[in-house]
Amino acid sequence: MQAALDRRYDLDRKSAAEPGVDDVLAEFVDRLRRAFGSLDRVSGKHILDIACGSNSSRSPETGRRTAVFEPWFCRLLLELGAEPVGVDAGDLEAERFEHYSVDLSRVGALDFLPDASFDGVQDSRLFGSPEFGAKMPERRDRERIKAELRRQERRLLKPSGVVIHSDNP
């Protein structure tokens, strides 16, 4: 899996330049194992990654483009034989997985996705995103979006579906 990610996305070079990339991938692998019992059981699953990251993401510390916030979860899912769907406001045009440009600061932004259509949903990067934080500086606005994401997760998951990870308790 790591060799495929390196061939397609230059993982080794990006990991050497930004050690946090390896940590992100390890965390994603761990989440998938906990959610599905093993990586083998991810194959064929239709999985939504909300705020999946993009090829235009910027570091909150430096403001420079960073590989840490690239769409690694969706890329990993694709290599594992899953059917990922990524939503993010950033650049995803060159990606091989299904993706949509979505303004997640809008209530109803995910309404275009069909009810009960996903085996798994992850939302783990939205509230840590510097772009989102700048767009939604008011706590009440962020709370409104947190409530919206909880509603969407319930609506989008199949009856046997799982929330893989959420930064939205």
Q: Which of 161, 111, 169, 118 is nearest to 142 (CA)?
A: 169
Q: State the CATH number of the domain containing residue 138.
A: 3.40.50
Express each pLDDT in 90-122 by its tens digit: 899 999 999 999 999 999 999 999 999 999 999
CA distance 74 to 131: 20
Q: In sequence order, which residues have a C-beta less than 8 Å from that of residue 105 and are 6 or more positions away?
A: 132, 135, 136, 141, 145
Domain that residue 105 falls in: 2-166
118-123 vs 46-50, strand pairing mode: parallel
The total of structural domains in the chain comes to 1
Q: What tens-digit pLDDT sequence spans the chain (169 residues)?
A: 889 999 999 999 999 999 899 999 999 999 999 999 999 999 999 999 999 999 888 777 777 888 988 999 999 999 999 999 999 998 999 999 999 999 999 999 999 999 999 999 999 878 777 778 778 888 898 889 989 999 999 999 999 999 998 876 5
Q: How many CB atoms lie within 10 A of CB 155?
A: 16
